[in-house]
Structure 1
Amino acid sequence: MDAIDEKIIAELSRNARISHAELAHRVLLSRNAVRQRIDRLERQGHIRGYTIVRDEDSDTGDFVSALVLVYRQDRMRGGEVLAALKRIPEVVICEVLSGDFDLMVRLEARSLERIRGIWEDIAQMPGVSDTVTAFALSRVINRSRKARSEESEP
């Protein structure tokens, strides 16, 4: 990645819907060159997706959150479970754990029914031996990575 790639990523971080023409103007490249760089950044994994970020003020509480702790049948060869979880858009975090559980999966969905459906899908995945699910009742602290890094700056 070079400095122009960094500028492209910074602009897309501010506004993922920016047109290629506007982005090209901002980074002083042609529209086609910007498109090619974005395609390359996606292939290389520097850009892994585009998402919606809602302001805290606009949050109407219409999402249900749950943690699903997953036991895999084979910890060392459980890649198919991880691949399947990556395809579920409501999976917002998936972390490999030490200790009793293998994975911690955080789900956010619009309804309890959707969470239940995802939980059933996870429980039936080949390679999953058991799950434990806990629903979030309320959110007391919600710090984004960006907010945490800004707090630590002098």
Structure 2
Amino acid sequence: MTGLHLDEIDHRILAELTADARLPLVTLAGRVHLSRNAVKQRMERMERDGVIDGYTLRRGAGSARRMTAVVLVYRADRMRGGGVVTELARIPEVVRCDILSGQFDLLVTVIAESMDRIGEIWEQIAALPGVADTVTSVSLARPVDRA
């Protein structure tokens, strides 16, 4: 991260975006009393500095329930190359990939529209060169969600 100096206006921009990441730039600019271009430049700086790490959409309870699965991946090469991770990043339903210590090398979180799609993705992961074994678990419920 480069120059990580945040002033009061930066903090107000972050608070507004935290409350509503879809806030139109013109509305945000009015709320922090700056021009649209000044707010845009500040947001771009905060993105470059890693203060803003992305914009997300969280589906509400009214949307169709999506399936979540966790795939533990054991790699034959014990993480000596980046090919498996590169291929995982190309699968849109792979929302997270953690490198682990211990028996397994990767923890891959998959969110898909159906169990059939989870199965297709599992087959795709298991077939990747360098993947020696996988263990997959499907989420049945999410009693705590602090994301």
TM range, normalised to the smaller chain? Answer: 0.7 to 0.9
Residues 19-69 of structure 1: per-residue CA shift (max 9 Å, x gap):
1111112222211111122223333333332222234xx256621121100
TM-score of the pair, normalised by structure 1? 0.75
Asked whether the 8 Å contact 2:73–2:108 carries over to 1, the reply is yes
Residues 68-122 of structure 1: per-residue CA shift (max 9 Å, x gap):
0011233343444334434433223332222111111121111112212222232
Q: How many residues align?
A: 142
Residue 123 of structure 2 corresponds to residue 124 of structure 1: no
**Contiguous gaps of at least 5 residues in structure 1:** 146-154
Asked whether the 8 Å contact 2:79–2:105 carries over to 1, the reply is no
Structure showing the higher helix proportion among its residues = 1
Deviates more, 1:76-85 or 1:113-122: 76-85
TM-score of the pair, normalised by structure 2? 0.78
Matches within 5 A, 1:71-90: 71-90=74-93
- Judged with a 3 Å threshold, the aligned counterparts in structure 2 of structure 1 residues 85 and 43 are, in CA distance, closer, same or farther, namely farther
Partner residue in 1 for 2:30: 25
Residue 110 of structure 2 corresponds to residue 141 of structure 1: no
Asked whether the 8 Å contact 2:84–2:129 carries over to 1, the reply is yes
Percent identical pairs in the alignment equals: 51
- Judged with a 3 Å threshold, the aligned counterparts in structure 2 of structure 1 residues 36 and 75 are, in CA distance, closer, same or farther, namely farther
- The equivalent position to 1:48 in structure 2, one of 48, 53, 65, is 53
- The equivalent position to 1:105 in structure 2, one of 103, 108, 115, is 108
Offset of residue 17 of structure 1: 1.0
**Contiguous gaps of at least 5 residues in structure 2:** none
Residue 9 of structure 2 corresponds to residue 7 of structure 1: no
Superposition RMSD in Å: 2.4
Q: C-alpha separation between the residues in 2 aligned to 1:97 and 1:59?
A: 35
